[in-house]
Structure 1
Amino acid sequence: MLSRFVTLLFSFLILININAQVITGKVTDITGKPLSGANIIWQNTTIGTSTNEAGEFSISDLSEGERTLLISFVGFSPEKIKVGKLKHWTIQLIEDATLAEVNITAKGQASRFANEPAKVEVLGVREIQRAACCSLAGCFSTNSNVDANVTNVVTDAKELRILGLSGVYNQVLVDGLPLIQGLAYPYGPGSYPGTMIEKIFVTKGANSVLQGFESISGQINIEFHRPENAPQLFLNAFANSFGESQYNVNYMVKKAAWSNLSVGHLTLPAASIDRDGDGFRDIVKTNRVSFYNRWSYDNPEKPKWRTTIGLRYLSEQREGGSTRFDRDQHLGTSLVYGQHVDIQHGEAYTKTNFIIGQSSSLILLNSAFAQKQESYFGVKKYLGKQFNLTSALYLDHYYGSANHNLKVGLSHRHNKLREDITFLEDISFLNYEGTYLTNYDIPGLFAENKLTFSKFTILTGLRADHFAGFGWKATPRILVRANLSPDTDIRFNVGKGFRWAHIFSENANLLAGNRSLVIAKNLAPEEAINLGLNFVQTLHWNEINITISGDAYLTYFQNQIFPDYDTEVNTAIVQNFFGKSVSKSYQLENKWIFTQQFDVKLAYNFLEVYRVLEGVQQDLPFIPRHKWTANTSYSTHNDHWQIDLTWRRIGSKRLPSTVNYPDPYKQPSSSDPYQQWDLQLTHRWTNFQLYGGIENIFDFRQKFPILGYDQPFGNFFDPAFNWGPTKGREFYLGVRYSVK
């Protein structure tokens, strides 16, 4: 296996340069400092790209018409260049004091598709701020590609789903690094404040092999504010009608070649609310304190070396259960039922770029996190400790006029996870008390080749990773983008993915409820193949721009580990499943931009996610076949006022079988469809914003979402039977203040 990989690796290295019609260049400020993230777009088209960390860009040339490039960067005056026969440009942008002062009011495109072989949707700050977006998990309420699902209603654990599959199959990256996995998985999406986030990159299906072997259904990469682009001071305060409040402060300083961004976050808990009268809190009580510090080094006098350092610490406590639960008196006892989660989490990462000559870079990536989690679920105590370290070193080389790019490198992942489960009182019907260890080291090799032609971009990637006990496993991926015209893109991608399952840390609902658990021995890595086809068509009608996009994705599992809730009564069976397990996802989205101030987006998703058991197709539970999303945004001409309205309709979902449960606990075989409306109003001044809104305007709630709430220490207690909103209508008010 390894010899075959090495042979393929050398085949990448000997690929010859193929001259394609592309325009390349570099964007800097007047001192020569590269501007990373500058926008490059052909005038009167949707074809665009962004500069990399070195300020460099490559964009497909136009075959006809006036060829004018528009170059823009936040805080700088935009440039317009008529492109003649010259194929390489060096562009200097001049800082604009007016733009710098009113950056908070500058309106850009809220979301767009990146000019990449994979269909990457880029969510900017304007899109994120169309809703309250208190955390990463709340940033997708206006998005049709990602679903934030609650997996334990008592502690509000959440996962981010793509293509209808569990969030474990979607790789979530922090600044391109794998920091949300294992113990960090169930509560991580709720722990990153939305005010830290500058951009979110969403990719469905197969994508680059650089970040590892795990991405199966897609990838979410959150990019924090960079110190060099961030306001000097940013403040945010938020409160809702449940009594929860959040506070954020970002502060940037710059000294010589170093720039630093410090971020502080505080969440204070909600009141104890029980609208159902079932004796359980509707809202989890959360105390959260986090600190983030990011350093960037970029010296124009020594441009051969750039580095980024990120540090973050999180202390979080979540508490749910009975309204009578008092942690000091009832924790870990059967006197009053309660759940309590205490998380201590630290993470660090570095990204260093060494420039070699005119066309090569050596890039070193390191990320690590350590987490201790002490949880109580009634009389069950869970103590988890994890340390994870991931490193990668690769060469990034451009051939010729930048139309041929090759990346080749090495990676290593070390993971050590210990989980101790203790029953503090006798629970005769449960059987999983004990210590569970997950320790592994996974070395890897990878290569990725990108060829850019006038109408096509082809990205081929291959990596090989060694799993202890299972040998070398190959992850091949191919992505093709056909730019048929300035307004028409078609993309195709196919690739394989692997992942190592963490049963308890990734399935908090198993500990939260009282199901018996059967875990098979010798669980193998999960393995799947994903195929995707999509198109993006832009139409121009007078002043109106219309973007129509369609997706079709097929995910075929060769091994899947997914808790089986149906085979045995009140039991979850966790085992390898080598049978037929498939996800089919189809989406049609239509976006109308009437003016810079007014846009409308409509989307429909069809999901068919199932297994075949003994010749019978069975849909996986809690996944709707149909989902509709609509969003509209209007702002006044001076951008002082903005109103956003979002509508979602979620179709029926299959529910786990309860036919053999006692009558009081029997549930229907499927949920009811429901819809939800959200509204937000924002008012902007030069440095100040006031925003307020209503989530779930018509107050739809799933009644009595906790199964067996009257007997929380009994066999049939299950707080993960929720299929819809459980909090009801929420009013909120917030304020933002920014100084550039």
Structure 2
Amino acid sequence: MIKIIFFACSILSLNVISAQNSDISGTVSFNGNSEPYVNIYLKGTEIGTASDEKGQYTLKNISPGKYTLIASNIGFEKFYKTITISKDQDKIIDINLKASTESLDEMVVTGTLKPVSRLESPVPVEVYKPTFFKKNPTASIFEALQNVNGVRPQINCNVCNTGDIHINGLEGPYTLVLIDGMPIVSGLGTVYGLSGIPNSLIEQIEVVKGPASSLYGSEAVGGLINIITKNNLSAPKFFADTFITDWGEFNLDVGTKFNIGNKTNVLLGVNYFKYDNPIDNNDDNFTDLTLQDRISIFQKWNFSRKDARVLSLAGRFFYEDRWGGEMQWTPEFRGGDEIYGESIYTRRWELLGKYQLPVKEQMILSFSYNDHKQNSVYGDVAYLADQRIGFTQLTWDKTSGKHSLLAGTALRYNYYDDNTTATANDNENEPDEILIPSIFIQDEIAFNKKHSLLLGGRYDYDDRHGNIFTPRAAYRFKFTDNDIIRLNAGTGFRVVNLFTEDHAALTGSRDVIIAEELEPERSFNINLNYLKKIYGDSGTFVSLDASAFYTNFQNVIIPDYDTNPNQIIYDNLDGTSISKGISANVDVSFYNGLKFMVGGTLQNVSNTENGVKQRQILTESYSANWSVSYDVRAWDFTIDYTGNLYGPMRLPTLGENDPRSDFSPAWSIQNIQFTYDGLKNFEFYGGIKNLLDWTPNRGNPFIIARADDPFDKEVTFDANGNAVATPNNPNALTFDPSYVYGPNQGIRSFFGMRYTIN
């Protein structure tokens, strides 16, 4: 009942729209067919909207005067029309779009740290819009990324279900998560950076695969995920999106935009997620899905300044209470050794902003700061941590002839403290605190319309590791308007903090062994990308995006589960770690409303030490993703079928006597959704997730080892600390929840509703 009241109050809280002067409305079409999601706005004003699913649009409350009406969307030439508005005179203007040879003319910022057309960028950047994620609605971006080719959300614990993002088979700590271009999410808070931002406030998500340390520093080793939020022009005036599942999950996104005076506009969004229904379908007396109570509040302020200079400020507050464990666990057992539970309280706030200096040159000062507090217990092991990250950066953007220069300096502040040996020195607490100054420069040289070359480098100084230099180079060859080849090469580095990155170091009964002082990881990457576009006479559009990649790591740190089944041993690999493979995406749109996307990746991620080559743990050799959508326009109805497929992975078993399989089978999660949008401002959607009812316990006697004895009270150990076989433990196992490669949540139905006022 509280949820219903909260949702109703959110809608009723919308301010009454003031009386309007005049409206412009009409229909956007291409080749006689309506065109949805086209951006329409009046140049030089804050008045703008997007066409709905039927191609219809309305611009409201327009004062008398002369304006330029602009419509733009991927795959089409921009539409311009000069109009004159008289008082109380509504206009109907239908817009007919023309196909463009520059079909992917989105603006991207992640690859080069400044806005550039996606086609002109020498660095390949994949762009995903909110409509892509609507095809399989989820409560967080973390889950939604399962439909992006080469990107896999990895669950790291069967009990608390925390996870990270793998790109091209590389572990989560190699992926840097950005919000509006700021490296605000890292280490302790990586998974939380992908939760709690309402889908309706996201302009686009940009994904770069491969090192980008020359621009972003540490952690940008394997790739980047940049969440770009909307501005006041593109955001809806009010939105609410809520869904429930038959497991009892409830998610609510609600938000609005409003003006303060004539020069300030504000974007506000709130996300709330609740799941409090313990389910144990695999009968191991442990929750299949972690219980969660989460709220996130996001606010973004944009200020109008002279000469359209940038000034924005954004903040987010995040709180989550999550627990998983034995079905009879309650909070009074927290931290004890009677009933096993993993309970995590997280409180986090973030602040980020941009300020363009009032000088003739294009100079922007960016900054971010976050404070992350975590109070966790894993059985009877407490983990109390506090991490603060401050970041400031000044960039200078200059174009001179054929050269597009970007130079800058950055300063990063890291503070980390916990109750483990990571911040202890001679039994005294010694938090990790450091300042890392950096300078960087890049020059993109446009020789002509077909050839461009980007050269860049970054210098960082870390007191612990000294001087770190990371160069990069990128070449773009556009041999026709519809064919582009890009060749990228660069280096990356990462400074490691195990306890903020690897959940396995904290959970279960394995002892953590750090064999040596850990050196920064280094990487070299080369990537060849080919983009092809095909335009059919009937309005059909095809896009092919294919890549081949190779990454060589030095000093790579990989948890060793094999040497001793009761230990996790961390040290720098004395050898090489190589990730290589190929990937491709094909997108096809037909004029009749049928669209499909298919992506696939073949990869080989291996480690070689002392002449022995071994496949990296928890890394699939192949994967595929797909999305098929069909608009039944006569019925205002859309069908979306999405899915993924992952090849076998090597898994962390507890030695030769462990009856669990050493490799996962090939597995797939598939979903179907039906959407009806025949009522103004409303969308109703529902469907089924995990149609095949796949869970990782298939083919295994159990998933969590010794789930009936999570504190190892009945395990017998020898003098070396190894478990020995006994009548009640014939396989000599200890409690271990780290055998996980996919979600335990089976088939479920969902139903939701969206209400939007543009």
The answer to whether the superposition gives a TM-score over 0.5 is: yes
| Mapped partners of 1:573, 1:411: distance in 2 | 34
2:317 is the alignment partner of 1:323: no
2:266 is the alignment partner of 1:260: yes
| Mapped partners of 1:627, 1:337: distance in 2 | 35
Aligned-pair CA distance for 1:652: 0.9
1:280 to 283, 286, 302: 286
Superposition TM-score, scaled by structure 2 size? 0.80
Partner-residue secondary structure (3-state), 2:135: coil
2:659 is the alignment partner of 1:656: no
Aligned-pair CA distance for 1:37: 13
* Partner of residue 311, structure 2: 307
| Mapped partners of 2:227, 2:462: distance in 1 | 28
* Partner of residue 345, structure 2: 342
1:466 to 456, 461, 470: 461
Aligned-pair CA distance for 1:156: 1.5
Partner-residue secondary structure (3-state), 1:595: coil
Question: CA distance change for structure 1 residues 644 and 436 in 2, over 3 Å: closer, same or farther?
Answer: farther
2:556 is the alignment partner of 1:560: yes
1:227-250: CA deviation from partner (whole Å, max 9, x where unpaired): 232111111111111101011211
Aligned-pair CA distance for 1:226: 1.8
Partner-residue secondary structure (3-state), 1:139: helix
| Mapped partners of 2:144, 2:93: distance in 1 | 26
Aligned-pair CA distance for 1:711: 1.7
CA RMSD across the alignment: 3.1
Partner-residue secondary structure (3-state), 2:184: coil
* Higher deviation after alignment, 175-184 or 29-38: 29-38
2:692 is the alignment partner of 1:691: no
Question: CA distance change for structure 1 residues 272 and 657 in 2, over 3 Å: closer, same or farther?
Answer: closer
2:371 is the alignment partner of 1:366: no
* Partner of residue 380, structure 1: 381
* Higher deviation after alignment, 591-600 or 555-564: 591-600
* Partner of residue 144, structure 2: 139
| Mapped partners of 1:355, 1:492: distance in 2 | 37
* Partner of residue 667, structure 1: 660
* Partner of residue 750, structure 2: 732
| Mapped partners of 2:364, 2:184: distance in 1 | 19
Partner-residue secondary structure (3-state), 2:377: strand
Whether the 8 Å CA contact 2:316–2:350 is kept in 1: the answer is yes
Whether the 8 Å CA contact 2:205–2:228 is kept in 1: the answer is yes
1:20-48: CA deviation from partner (whole Å, max 9, x where unpaired): xxxxxxx9976635999999xxxxxxxxx
Aligned-pair CA distance for 1:702: 1.3
* Partner of residue 130, structure 2: 125
| Mapped partners of 2:404, 2:480: distance in 1 | 23
2:457 is the alignment partner of 1:438: no
| Mapped partners of 2:175, 2:92: distance in 1 | 37
Whether the 8 Å CA contact 1:272–1:281 is kept in 2: the answer is yes
Question: CA distance change for structure 1 residues 516 and 482 in 2, over 3 Å: closer, same or farther?
Answer: same
* Partner of residue 595, structure 1: 591
Unpaired stretches in structure 2, ≥5 consecutive residues: 1-38, 52-68, 96-102, 109-117, 713-732
| Mapped partners of 1:296, 1:236: distance in 2 | 24
Partner-residue secondary structure (3-state), 2:188: helix
Whether the 8 Å CA contact 2:696–2:744 is kept in 1: the answer is yes
Aligned-pair CA distance for 1:281: 0.7
Describe how 1:679-718 pairs up with structure 2 within 5 A.
679-684=672-677, 685-703=679-697, 704-714=702-712, 716-718=734-736
Describe how 1:419-430 pairs up with structure 2 within 5 A.
419-421=418-420
* Partner of residue 11, structure 1: none
| Mapped partners of 1:376, 1:36: distance in 2 | 49
| Mapped partners of 1:274, 1:293: distance in 2 | 38
Describe how 1:153-552 pairs up with structure 2 within 5 A.
153-207=158-212, 209-254=214-259, 255-299=261-305, 302-303=306-307, 305-327=309-331, 329-354=332-357, 356-357=359-360, 360-400=361-401, 403-421=402-420, 437-452=431-446, 453-543=448-538, 544-552=540-548
| Mapped partners of 1:383, 1:170: distance in 2 | 24
* Partner of residue 27, structure 2: none
Whether the 8 Å CA contact 1:207–1:479 is kept in 2: the answer is no
* Higher deviation after alignment, 535-544 or 461-470: 535-544
Whether the 8 Å CA contact 2:177–2:193 is kept in 1: the answer is no
1:97-142: CA deviation from partner (whole Å, max 9, x where unpaired): 999999xxxxxx9998922111111101211211113211122232
Partner-residue secondary structure (3-state), 2:590: strand
- Opposite residue 470 of structure 2, the aligned amino acid is T
Partner-residue secondary structure (3-state), 2:142: helix
| Mapped partners of 2:152, 2:217: distance in 1 | 23
Whether the 8 Å CA contact 1:186–1:506 is kept in 2: the answer is no
| Mapped partners of 2:737, 2:427: distance in 1 | 20
Question: CA distance change for structure 1 residues 552 and 37 in 2, over 3 Å: closer, same or farther?
Answer: farther
| Mapped partners of 2:552, 2:210: distance in 1 | 12
2:614 to 609, 618, 624: 618
Whether the 8 Å CA contact 2:440–2:459 is kept in 1: the answer is yes
- Sequence identity percentage: 27
Whether the 8 Å CA contact 1:678–1:697 is kept in 2: the answer is yes
| Mapped partners of 2:582, 2:618: distance in 1 | 18
Aligned-pair CA distance for 1:458: 1.9
| Mapped partners of 2:452, 2:616: distance in 1 | 36
2:643 is the alignment partner of 1:647: yes
Question: CA distance change for structure 1 residues 576 and 446 in 2, over 3 Å: closer, same or farther?
Answer: same
1:258-298: CA deviation from partner (whole Å, max 9, x where unpaired): 11011112112231100111100111110111211110012
Partner-residue secondary structure (3-state), 1:140: helix
Question: CA distance change for structure 1 residues 364 and 92 in 2, over 3 Å: closer, same or farther?
Answer: farther
* Partner of residue 44, structure 2: 32
Whether the 8 Å CA contact 1:238–1:247 is kept in 2: the answer is yes
Question: CA distance change for structure 1 residues 571 and 187 in 2, over 3 Å: closer, same or farther?
Answer: farther
| Mapped partners of 2:460, 2:50: distance in 1 | 35
Whether the 8 Å CA contact 1:546–1:593 is kept in 2: the answer is yes
Whether the 8 Å CA contact 1:158–1:187 is kept in 2: the answer is no
1:630-686: CA deviation from partner (whole Å, max 9, x where unpaired): 2211113368221111132211111235334xx4x4322211112221111111133
Whether the 8 Å CA contact 2:574–2:610 is kept in 1: the answer is no
Partner-residue secondary structure (3-state), 1:719: coil
| Mapped partners of 1:36, 1:205: distance in 2 | 36
| Mapped partners of 1:307, 1:519: distance in 2 | 46
If asked which structure has higher relative contact order (CA below 8 Å, sep 6+), I would say: 1
Aligned-pair CA distance for 1:209: 3.4
Partner-residue secondary structure (3-state), 2:194: helix
Aligned residues: 648
Superposition TM-score, scaled by structure 1 size? 0.82
| Mapped partners of 1:445, 1:635: distance in 2 | 50
Whether the 8 Å CA contact 2:575–2:610 is kept in 1: the answer is no
